[in-house]
A and B are shown apart, each in its own frame.
Chain A
Amino acid sequence: MTSVTLNVNGHSHVLDVEDRTLLVDLLREQLGLTGTHVGCDTSQCGCCTIHVDGVAAKSCTMLALQADGTDIVTIEGLAPTDRLHPVQTAFSSCHGLQCGYCTPGMIMAVTDLLARHPDPTDEQIRDGLAGNLCRCTGYVNIEAAVRAAASAMRR
């Protein structure tokens, strides 16, 4: 067991982990942050997407040890409890979610995309979503949510 220190959603944690513990498992099981989901085991689906030091990362593809000393934001920490992030609102208002399983990862990927491209082209949107699978929506409404969020955030 090795000790890791990470700041998650603004709170500092010191935790003991096995060398093989995945970051996503640490978040879900040791910190109870079950909003981040696991959907595959080959880094394809993006359900586990979080922000590590301000950049989107797939938490299933990082060992907890690799996150030592980092700042992590999960879906639960995206917005204060009494407010929603424009990306969250846009996903709902554009019906960019149905079952909701891919949604936290999508939202974290999209907030990162919009930080890099505040006025994204269609190609940048599709490229930015390439690491996230959705089985329910067919993606068209998710793209609409990205555009709506971008527009709201530029205002």
Chain B
Amino acid sequence: MADRLLRHEDLRLITGRGRFTADVDLPGQLHAAMVRSDRAHARILALDVEAAGKADGVVAILTAKDVQAAGFRPLPSGAPIKGVGGEPHRTAPMPVLAENVVRFVGQPIAMVIAQTALQARDAAELVAVDYDELPVAATVAAALAEGAVQLHDAAPGNLALTYEDGDAEAVARAFAGAAMTSTLRIRSQRLVGSPLELRACVAAHDAARNVTVVHTPTQGMLGMRSSLHAVTGWPTDSIEVVAQDVGGSFGIRGGTFSEQVLAMLASRRLGRPVKWVASRSELFVGEWHGRALTLQGSVALDAQGNILALRFEHETDLGAYSCYWGSLIGTRNLSVTMGGVYRVPALHMRSRLVYTNTVPVSAYRGAGRPDIAFIIERLIDHAAVEHGLDPVDLRSRNFVPVDAFPYRTANGTVYDCGDFDGVMQHALELANYRHFPERRREAAARGQLRGIGFACYLEASGGGAAPSDQVAGRFDADGRLTLYAMTGPSGQGHETSFARIVSDGLGLSLDRIGYRASDPASGLVGNGTGGSRSLLGAGSAFKKLVDSIVDKARPHAAAALGVEPATVGFAKGRFYRLSGGTPAGGISDIPDDDAAIALSELVRQLAPLDASGHPLDCTADSVSGVTFPNGCHVAEIEVDPATGATRIESYVAVDDLGNIVSPELVRGQVHGGVVQGAGQAFGEAALYDADSGQLLSGTFTDYTMPRAGLIRRIVTDSHPVPTALNALGAKGVGESGCSGSLPALGNAMADALRGSGLPAAATLDMPYTPPRVWQALNS
């Protein structure tokens, strides 16, 4: 049965035996429900919990007073990025529960704990909040306007930071001397990431051990535990984080929210487990939003079309508080690869990070990297159109050439390798780009606006904060191998990929190898999952583990074969006697009991009879540098001018992801990223009412998630340029799909709309919904 299945994870998931956090029930558990602000900006004059406290089944109600009494700190506010002139980021950390002010609809105010979930919810509705409403600044423009209400004393004018990178003077000189320039300003709209699992937690304080076990979705135990410790102050080794199956995360659930630490506090106080499960509409205002940037790019070209400089001027909406990744998205994640795949002599970027009365913004698949790819590639196309240049030639002449690697960008990023022109040609060929004009004419005869767009993206992946990725392998008495690392999978297939690396390396059967992610007892240090780095990071460490296990086994093999270890070779799962060179007949011809012994046999022979560890148990670690996955995606669409509806006719993705371990899983990641980008392009938008700061798109009814058929076919191919920066030669794939699809689809739409003869239509912002497209075509 199991051998027809693609992944080790699949059996439990397709039979409904996965264990997601909401599936966890502990004896004696209580249930929690949150009280959240329904005002965008208000002082809390009074919080009346009396009626709620008397409601059926209610056991406790936590408010800001309890949080303060417990000595909890606010939620982590992210990297302290410095701005222009070294100015510090004017952070505004979010309190676990609102104290005197609420600053966004959805901000947590109290937690009600009761015997049942319904009782907790009923009681939460009885909590009465007396608000004194304040003016609302729900958009970046409103927040930056003269006389705008100030959200935080620490941030005058609601400006958290003005960030700058690159050389403004060099760029200014380049623009002054340029033969041609172009500028484009576009929006990467605010999104609601919406992993399908409803976020939940079950916290169980064990007084006897003085340990609190927290079941909650994560992107790796260490990151989650570190955030729980940062907020609660409870010793790290008194917190155990358990996440078995995680239903998607996309950057959102790596750190704690208010609910987990409150459940921990409640459990400790009440001596019973406390369980909280969100509702979807609650998550729309109760979980970090994504993107929310306005991007402006300008390019300076010489008369031949060589890029002299790129200049960027961005605005980043942080939402009401600084949290987790917000500060990095609008700064370094945009600037690190702001030259894209091009040789650009001068680069400069300025970005303003602004507080608004909206849900705080943090990482969502790509976290700024799709956004910078979006503006670069839309800008290049825009320049080509404005100045009558061919978009393929314009890119081709400006790519970092193959012989220029390692290439140091004008702002100090070092790209280790790539073949940008080869990737583009490969993609255009697969997409039959050359014959597009005929397809456009044929579509026009049917009254349809057909457009083609491509994008050459590049992103930085794999920058992890841990000093290295440590992994371990432990054999049990039956010879089954369990692998350990600190990743936090949420669908990427780590149990399969890591087992494959080790299975291929050791010649052990796949079904004899298991993987335990983020086991608290493992004592390992390593990066969680984020920034597309688990395969190249932990995976590389597993590759080294293979070598370590072989080295440990070699003396035993030598003893079994009756020879010196130096004369023992290893290939395809077997140790064999080297007699002055490799055996003439090839390894598979050697009978097992004569001159070779299988590693699996050694494992069996060496299994201890007692409970002590297996002699071949070992650890390994790997330090993996930042890699630069890149690719060219080509999208072809048809717009029906009568309705504004778009059909995606073709989508081609050619990616340089270095060496690939699991082609099917990589393809799955590309598909997922591409369609998340398509979702942003064609429907998703978190819309706020500017006056009240109410979230208008508050459920899936109004927030247009991608559905089957949005992209009917995705042609993928690999154009690998293996990197030397990790043992696998792999580059990160998890987020790259978005970086390709946003600009490819944006360029396709601009191309289609240009066919209408209305220049303004071609700079339409996403989402390209039928009403918006129709209006652009009919204004």
Which chain A residues have a beta carbon within 8 Å of chain B's beta carbons? 18, 20, 28, 33-42, 44-45, 47, 74-76, 78-79, 82-84, 88-89, 91-95, 97-104, 107, 122, 125-126, 129-130, 132-143
Instruction: Select from chain A the residue with minimum beta-carbon distance to B703.
Output: A44
Flag if B707 contacts A130 (CB, 8 Å): yes
> With A and B bound together, what is the CA distance between A72 and B9 in angstroms?
26
Give the distance in Å from the alpha carbon of A37 to the alpha carbon of B708 in the complex.
20
Q: Chain B: which residue is nearest A81 at the CB level?
A: B15
* Chain A residues within an 8 Å CB radius of B281: 41-42
- Do residues B279 and A101 form an inter-chain contact, with CB atoms below 8 A? no
B185 within 8 A of A: no
**B-side binding surface: helix, strand, loop or mixed?**
loop
Contact A92/B10 with A33-B16, A34-B23 known, Cβ cut-off 8 Å = yes
Convert B701-714 into 0s and 1s, putting 1 for each residue whose CB lies closer than 8 angstroms to a CB of A.
10001111111111
Q: Tell me how far the C-beta of B243 lies from the nearest C-beta in chain A, rounded to whole angstroms.
A: 12
- Chain B min CB distance to A122 (Å): 7
A107 engages B14 (CB within 8 Å): yes
A-B contact pairs, 29 of them (CB 8 A): A35-B16, A37-B22, A37-B196, A39-B196, A39-B197, A40-B700, A42-B280, A42-B701, A44-B701, A76-B16, A82-B1, A89-B14, A92-B7, A93-B5, A95-B7, A95-B665, A98-B248, A98-B492, A98-B668, A103-B14, A104-B16, A126-B708, A129-B707, A136-B668, A138-B674, A138-B711, A139-B708, A141-B668, A143-B712
A84 touching B674 by the CB < 8 A rule? Answer: no
Q: Which of B18, B664, B671 contacts A140 (CB 8 A)?
A: B671
Q: How far is the CA of A135 from the CA of B671 in the complex (A)?
A: 11
Q: Who on chain B is nearest to A108 by CB?
A: B16
B17 pairs with A41, CB closer than 8 A: no
Interface size class of B (residues with CB under 8 A): 35 or more
Q: How far is the CA of A126 from the CA of B492 in the complex (A)?
A: 25
Interface of A is mostly: loop
* CB–CB A101/B700 < 8 A: no
Q: Is the CB of B491 within 8 A of A100?
A: yes
With A98-B491, A99-B491, A143-B708 known to touch, is A45 a contact of B5 (CB < 8 Å)?
no
Q: A93-B5, A140-B712 are in contact. List 15 more A-B contacts (CB 8 A).
A: A20-B118, A34-B23, A35-B17, A39-B198, A78-B15, A93-B4, A93-B6, A99-B196, A99-B248, A100-B491, A126-B709, A129-B709, A133-B196, A137-B672, A138-B676
A134→B711 CA distance, assembly (Å)? 13
CA–CA, A38 to B278, complex, Å? 10
What CA separation (Å) do A84 and B12 show in the bound complex? Answer: 11
B335 adjacent to chain A (CB < 8 Å): no
The answer to the question of B194 belonging to the interface, with a C-beta cut-off of 8 Å to chain A, is yes
A133 touches B279 (CB 8 A): no
B residues neighboring A (CB under 8 Å): 1, 4-7, 9-20, 22-23, 118, 194-198, 245-248, 250, 277, 279-281, 490-493, 664-665, 667-668, 671-676, 678, 699-701, 705-714, 737
Contacts of A140 in B (CB 8 A): 671, 675, 711-714
CB neighbours of B671 from chain A (8 A): 137-141
A95 to chain B, nearest CB (A): 5
A97 to B247, CA, bound (A): 11
B4, B12, B196 — most chain A CB neighbours (10 Å): B196
Q: How many Å from the CB of B450 to the closest CB on chain A?
A: 20
Closest-by-CB residue of A relative to B714 is: A140
Which residues of A lie under 8 Å from residue B672 when comparing CB positions? 98, 135-138
Question: A74 CA to B714 CA in the complex, in Å?
Answer: 32
Please, how many angstroms separate the alpha-carbon atoms of A45 and B18 in the complex?
A: 18
CA distance A34 to B10 in the complex (A): 16
Tell me the complex Cα distance, A47–B22, Å.
13
A76 to B708, CA, bound (A): 25
Would you give the shortest CB distance from B476 to chain A, in whole angstroms? 25
Closest to A20 in B: B118
Residue of A nearest to B698 (CB): A42
Contacting residues, chain B, for A91 (C-beta < 8 A)? 10, 14
A-B pairs with lowest CB-CB distance, top 4? A35-B16, A100-B13, A101-B247, A99-B491
**A100 contacts B709, CB within 8 Å?**
no
B711 engages A98 (CB within 8 Å)? no
- Please pick, from A18, A92, A126, the residue contacting B14 in the complex, using a CB distance under 8 A: A92
- Is the Cβ of B18 less than 8 Å from the Cβ of A100? yes
Identity of the chain B residue whose Cβ is nearest the Cβ of A74 in the assembled complex: B16
Contact A139 B5 (CB under 8 A): no
List chain A residues, Cβ under 8 A from B5. Answer: 89, 92-93
> Hey, which chain B residues are within 8 Å of A134, CB to CB?
196, 708
A109 to B77, CA, bound (A): 42
Chain A residue numbers with a CB within 8 Å of B737 are: 138
Residues of B within 8 A of A122 (CB): 712
Nearest A-chain residue to B709, judged by Cβ: A126
Q: How far apart are the CA atoms of A129 and B705 in the complex, in Å?
A: 13
Q: Are A135 and B194 interface neighbours, CB within 8 A?
A: yes
A25 to B491, CA, bound (A): 25
B700 closest partner in A (C-beta): A44
Cβ distance B124 to chain A, nearest Cβ, rounded Å? 15
CA–CA, A95 and B672, complex, Å: 12
Query: With a CB–CB cut-off of 8 A, which chain A residues contact B701?
Result: 42, 44
Flag if A133 contacts B707 (CB, 8 Å): yes
Which residues of chain B come closer than 8 Å to A98, judged between CB atoms? Answer: 248, 491-493, 668, 672
